[in-house]
């Protein structure tokens, strides 16, 4: 239920669900049909996709191509502040996963090495096809650029992020 | 009556740090204080400046004093005698002026040694004796032989009868007693003093002819020099003084002008100040605009970023609408966990996520759109302000440059003439200073010239006096017995005054010309204290004789340590006296001691009453209290090694033991 007297778009459930669907859709399975998305990686990729400036810096540190962005994507007030809640707040991710699970859009697999791995089923993939406007278009753009880091292990990804965050306030 | 007066006015020790001066007056002059304070040095240096042998000075003087000057009058003519304390062979300089004017005069130079012919340089002794009109004589070494060798009589011979050094006072060896050859000479000197030398009359005649010849020579010298100066158009002394004064006035005027200029440079700058004010205003405006510009730039950034956030938010809101449609949101869901197939309730949303219905979202989108419009407006305004500020700043910068240019120009215009004027004044001052030096040099030359006139005048008066003396000598040729008798009476009165015990058989020996008391020759008296009393008395009666007779003796008496053997006797002298004898004489009776002083003081008073001059310089360790209290004015110097009662610690009163090298090269004198 909506308890707040104002809207904070980043808090909207649907927005976040959509975001996660897109992440799962394009990053869930590699070209070689490998499942790669643990909960950790889902969290990390979700964080990156919500912080475009950090995203480009991580891509740079990892030696990959950066995303081409418009001014209104990086020249904002929010890009000045480094909010790392999304990176560390496990609860949010879990709730979203449960929601997607409840809507029967997920497939979960398991192996000894990685633990639980998540991907979308056909229904989920269908939904994603329709998430095509405004914000989601932009998210798609980011996610597609992250495919190169799809298989990178979590340790390395974390180190990229630490490097970028250590450098100091993000300035654009 | 006497035409041979010597008066000492000042002894000045010119030092590296300062000058040390002791003043002297007619009559009795007392110098007393603790040992080692320089009292003996004063008398030693005075005698040195009058032509004595070389002396030793203690290290305080050595490190503090460059040279010494004695300011005195010889027959009322002012002279300053300057002699190097450390190199006794250097020529002695005699200036005919006060100490303060040494710079403006050239001195006559005399040889300090006695050996000199008339062809070489005149000796200091000759000069002084000549000034005091003492006849120049040569004494026979062996008076009884007709063809005996001769030695010139000098000032040092005479001073034996004027100056008792510390060793001499009450000494058995006073006046060379015990040295037969010198004793014989001293007897001849004694005769000379009283004009009973066989050759006295012919000596005076000789002197008269010498002085006449000298006068002739000087007169012709004077004529030649006068002509020379006239030919070379030397100005007179008055004219020169006038010139120097007028130059000094001009220098003062220039200095005033210079001060004036400096003042004017500061105040004459209205226009300059105006420009400076304008520049300050411009600078303030520049600062103002720059602040405005900075603020606007900050705002611009903030608002632009905010605008982008709003745009993003709208995107997100629209997506939310779509997502709501596509994904659908239920708050309450139960489902089977895909992994474990257990049931899940999913209703813990509201803390973390929101679900907003479509209307609200639409509403929000509109609201944000309005905000975006407002922000766009603000952004535009700030851009405009930045543009305006930049434009103004450019204009102000141009104005600033212009103002600076005006200021520099104005400064140059207004200061340059001052600087030129100042330079002109400074170089004029230099020229004037040179001229002044030239005139001072000319003045010296002129002073020399006029001295010759003075000398001629003095010679004339000397010749007159000598003729008078010759008359007197011819009329009442004195006999030695006569003189000794008179002196014996004086000695008797003196000893009466002192109040010695058993005064009888007091006389001056006809054989030695030395005192005899109770029938005993001076040299055979065993009591040191008695000898002190007698030796001082001997000198005193010789001085006294001046009131009665024509004497060839300076009217000066110097005694170093009146109280020798009378009070505390130094260890080095203890052996020379017989303690028992001293006791028997009642030598330590303070009354006798005080009486010596009183006798000398009353002698001086008698001289004064007769309108005649005498000077008695007394050095002592402890003066009888009665004397210091009653005759305070006679004390010309008092020293205390501990500086008690604020007294100087010695002749060198700024001596600091810790600074053993107290030299400072002083090039001003």
CA distance B530 to B498: 11
Flag whether residue A90 sits within 8 Å of chain B, measured between CB atoms. Answer: no
CA distance B135 to B3: 12
CA within 13 Å, CB half, B42: 33
Predicted confidence at residue B662, as pLDDT, reads 42
Q: How far is A34 from chain B (nearest CA, A)?
A: 19
- pLDDT tens track for B25-46: 999 999 988 888 888 899 999 9
Better-scored residue on pLDDT, B262 or B400: B400
- pLDDT tens track for B465-483: 888 888 877 777 778 888 8
Predicted confidence at residue B1, as pLDDT, reads 45
Q: How far is CA B372 from CA A137, A143, A157, B368, in A?
A: 22, 28, 37, 6
Chain A residues with CB-CB distance to B317 below 8 A:
7, 9
Predicted confidence at residue B267, as pLDDT, reads 59
Using only C-alpha atoms, chain B has a radius of gyration, in whole angstroms, of 52
**Residues in contact with B500: Cβ distance below 8 Å, sequence separation at least 6, in sequence order:** B517, B530, B533, B585, B592
**Would the CB atoms of B323 and A15 count as touching at under 8 Å?**
yes
Terminal-to-terminal C-alpha distance of chain B:
40
- Classify residue B600 as left (phi > 0), alpha (psi -120 to 50) or beta: alpha
Its sign, for the CA torsion B26, B32, B37, B43, is positive
Using DSSP's 3-state secondary structure scheme, residue B235 falls into coil
Tell me what the mean pLDDT of segment B145-158 comes to. Answer: 80
Give residue B578's pLDDT band: very low, low, confident or very high (50, 70, 90): confident
CA distance B451 to B447: 6
Better-scored residue on pLDDT, B587 or B164: B164
DSSP track, B463-489:
HHHHHHHHHHHHHS---HHHHHHHHHH
Strands B27-33 and B615-620: parallel
CA distance A32 to A172: 37
CB–CB of B14/B65 below 8 Å? yes
**Would the CB atoms of B355 and A7 count as touching at under 8 Å?**
no
Which of A2, A14, A110 lies at the smallest CB-CB distance from B323?
A14
Give residue B387's pLDDT band: very low, low, confident or very high (50, 70, 90): very high
Flag whether residue A106 sits within 8 Å of chain B, measured between CB atoms. Answer: yes
With a cut of 80, say whether residue B236 has pLDDT above it.
no
With a cut of 70, say whether residue B338 has pLDDT above it.
no
Q: Find the farthest-apart pair of alpha carbons in chain A and give their distance in angstroms, rounded.
A: 48
User: Per CB distance under 8 Å, which residues of B are interface residues toward A?
Assistant: 302, 304-309, 311-320, 322-324, 326-329, 331, 333-335, 337-339, 344, 346, 348-350, 352-357, 360-361, 364
**Which of B172-181, B354-363, B530-539 holds the top average pLDDT?**
B530-539
Tell me what the mean pLDDT of segment B526-545 comes to. Answer: 91
Tell me what the mean pLDDT of segment B8-34 comes to. Answer: 92
Tell me what the mean pLDDT of segment B373-377 comes to. Answer: 92
With a cut of 60, say whether residue B659 has pLDDT above it.
no
Tell me what the mean pLDDT of segment B286-315 comes to. Answer: 92
With a cut of 80, say whether residue B567 has pLDDT above it.
no
CB–CB of A158/A64 below 8 Å? no
CA distance B588 to B568: 9
Q: Report the share of chain B in percent with pLDDT over 90.
A: 33
Neighbours of A109 (CB within 10 A): 12
Its sign, for the CA torsion B67, B72, B74, B79, is positive
Which DSSP symbol is given to A12? B
With a cut of 80, say whether residue B116 has pLDDT above it.
no
CA distance B330 to A100: 11
- Here the tokens at position B469 are 């003396």
Mean pLDDT of chain B: 85
Predicted confidence at residue B243, as pLDDT, reads 85
- Here the tokens at position A153 are 């292990």
**Residues in contact with B309: Cβ distance below 8 Å, sequence separation at least 6, in sequence order:** A76, A77, A78
Tell me what the mean pLDDT of segment B632-656 comes to. Answer: 80
The tens place of each residue's pLDDT in chain A, 172 residues long, gives 456 678 888 888 889 999 999 999 999 888 888 888 999 999 999 999 999 999 999 999 998 888 888 888 888 888 888 788 888 888 889 888 888 888 888 888 888 888 889 999 998 898 898 888 889 999 999 999 999 999 888 899 999 999 888 875 444 4
Give residue B68's pLDDT band: very low, low, confident or very high (50, 70, 90): very high
CB–CB of A9/B315 below 8 Å? no
Give residue B669's pLDDT band: very low, low, confident or very high (50, 70, 90): very low
Which of A72, A95, A104 lies at the smallest CB-CB distance from B349?
A95
Q: How far is B374 from chain A (nearest CA, A)?
A: 17
Tell me what the mean pLDDT of segment B38-63 comes to. Answer: 90
Report how many helices (DSSP H) and strands (DSSP E) chain A contains, helices first. Answer: 9, 2
With a cut of 50, say whether residue B55 has pLDDT above it.
yes
Q: How far is A57 from chain B (nearest CA, A)?
A: 19
CA distance B129 to B152: 12
CB–CB of A129/A137 below 8 Å? no
Which of B319, B334, B356 lies at the smallest CB-CB distance from A136?
B319
A positions 116-145 inside 8 Å of B (CB): 116, 127, 130-131, 133-136, 138
**Residues in contact with B618: Cβ distance below 8 Å, sequence separation at least 6, in sequence order:** B28, B29, B30, B31, B32, B558, B559, B562, B597, B600
**Residues in contact with B426: Cβ distance below 8 Å, sequence separation at least 6, in sequence order:** B258
User: What is the three-state SS of A81-128?
Assistant: CCCCHHHHCHHHHHHHHHHHHHCCCEEEEEECCCEEEEEECHHHHHHH
To the nearest 10 degrees (0 to 180), the angle between helices B270-327 and A134-146 is 90
Predicted confidence at residue B658, as pLDDT, reads 55
């Amino acid at each position: 239920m909506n308890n707040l007297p104002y809207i904070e778009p980043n808090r909207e459930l649907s927005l976040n669900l959509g975001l996660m669907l897109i992440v799962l859709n394009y990053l869930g399975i590699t070209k070689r049909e490998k499942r790669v998305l643990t909960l950790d990686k889902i969290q990390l990729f979700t964080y990156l996709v919500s912080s475009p400036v950090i995203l480009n810096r991580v891509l740079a540190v990892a030696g990959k191509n950066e995303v081409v962005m418009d001014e209104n994507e990086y020249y904002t007030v929010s890009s000045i502040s480094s909010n790392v809640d999304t990176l560390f707040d496990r609860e949010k991710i879990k709730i979203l996963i449960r929601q997607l699970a409840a809507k029967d859009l997920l497939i979960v697999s398991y192996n000894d090495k990685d633990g639980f791995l998540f991907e979308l089923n056909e229904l989920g993939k269908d939904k994603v096809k329709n998430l095509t406007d405004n914000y989601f278009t932009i998210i798609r753009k980011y996610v597609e650029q992250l495919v190169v880091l799809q298989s990178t292990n979590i340790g390395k990804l974390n180190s990229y992020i630490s490097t970028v965050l250590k450098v100091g306030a993000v300035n654009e | 009556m006497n035409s041979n007066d010597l008066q000492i006015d000042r002894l000045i020790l010119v030092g590296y740090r300062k000058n040390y001066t002791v003043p002297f007056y007619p009559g009795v002059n007392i110098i007393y204080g603790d040992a080692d304070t320089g009292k003996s040095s004063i008398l030693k240096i005075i005698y040195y400046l009058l032509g004595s042998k070389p002396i030793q000075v203690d290290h305080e003087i050595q490190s503090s004093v460059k040279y010494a000057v004695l300011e005195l009058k010889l027959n009322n003519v002012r002279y300053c005698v300057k002699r190097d304390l450390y190199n006794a062979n250097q020529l002695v300089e005699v200036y005919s002026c006060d100490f303060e004017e040494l710079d403006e005069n050239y001195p006559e130079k005399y040889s300090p040694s006695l050996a000199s012919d008339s062809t070489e340089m005149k000796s200091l002794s000759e000069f002084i004796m000549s000034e005091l009109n003492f006849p120049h004589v040569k004494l026979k070494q062996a008076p009884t032989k007709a063809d005996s060798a001769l030695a010139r009589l000098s000032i040092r011979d005479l001073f034996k009868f004027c100056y008792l050094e510390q060793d001499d006072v009450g000494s058995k060896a006073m006046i060379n007693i015990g040295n037969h050859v010198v004793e014989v000479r001293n007897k001849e000197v004694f005769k000379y003093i009283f004009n009973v030398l066989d050759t006295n009359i012919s000596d005076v005649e000789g002197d008269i002819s010498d002085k006449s010849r000298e006068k002739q020579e000087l007169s012709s010298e004077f004529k030649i020099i006068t002509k020379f100066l006239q030919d070379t158009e030397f100005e007179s002394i008055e004219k020169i003084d006038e010139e120097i004064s007028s130059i000094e006035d001009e220098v003062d005027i220039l200095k005033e002008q210079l001060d004036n200029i400096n003042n004017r440079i500061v105040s004459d700058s209205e226009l300059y100040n105006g420009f400076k004010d304008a520049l300050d205003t411009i600078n303030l405006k520049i600062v103002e605009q720059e602040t405005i510009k900075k603020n606007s730039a900050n705002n611009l950034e903030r608002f632009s970023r905010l605008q982008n956030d709003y745009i993003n938010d709208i995107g997100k809101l629209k997506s939310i609408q779509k997502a709501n449609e596509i994904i659908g949101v239920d708050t309450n869901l139960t489902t089977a966990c895909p992994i474990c197939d257990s049931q899940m309730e999913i209703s813990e949303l509201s803390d973390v996520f929101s679900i907003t219905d479509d209307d609200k979202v639409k509403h929000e989108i509109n609201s944000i759109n309005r905000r975006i419009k407002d922000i766009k407006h603000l952004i535009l305004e700030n851009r405009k302000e930045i543009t305006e500020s930049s434009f103004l700043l450019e204009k102000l910068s141009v104005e600033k440059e212009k103002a600076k240019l005006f200021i520099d120009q104005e400064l140059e215009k207004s200061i340059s003439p001052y600087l030129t004027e100042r330079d002109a004044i400074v170089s004029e001052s230099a020229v004037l200073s040179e001229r002044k030096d030239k005139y001072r040099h000319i003045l010296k030359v002129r002073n020399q010239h006029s001295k010759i006139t003075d000398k001629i005048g003095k010679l004339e008066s000397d010749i007159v006096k000598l003729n008078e003396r010759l008359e007197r000598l011819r009329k009442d040729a004195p006999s030695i017995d006569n003189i000794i008798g008179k002196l014996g009476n004086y000695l008797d009165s003196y000893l009466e005054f002192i109040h010695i015990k058993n005064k009888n058989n007091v006389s001056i020996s006809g054989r030695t010309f030395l005192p005899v008391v109770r029938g005993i020759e001076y040299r055979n008296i065993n009591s040191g204290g008695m000898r002190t009393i007698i030796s001082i008395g001997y000198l005193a009666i010789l001085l006294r004789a001046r009131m009665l007779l024509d004497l060839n003796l300076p009217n000066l008496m110097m005694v170093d340590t009146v109280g020798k053997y009378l009070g505390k006797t130094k260890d080095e002298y203890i052996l020379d006296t017989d303690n028992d004898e001293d006791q028997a004489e009642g030598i330590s009776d303070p009354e006798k001691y005080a009486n010596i002083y009183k006798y000398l003081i009353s002698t001086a008073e008698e001289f004064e009453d007769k309108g005649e001059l005498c000077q008695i310089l007394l050095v002592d360790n402890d003066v009888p209290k009665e004397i210091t209290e009653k005759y305070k004015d006679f004390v010309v110097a008092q020293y205390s090694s501990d500086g008690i009662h604020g007294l100087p610690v010695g002749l060198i009163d700024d001596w600091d033991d810790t600074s053993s090298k107290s030299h400072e090269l002083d090039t001003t004198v």
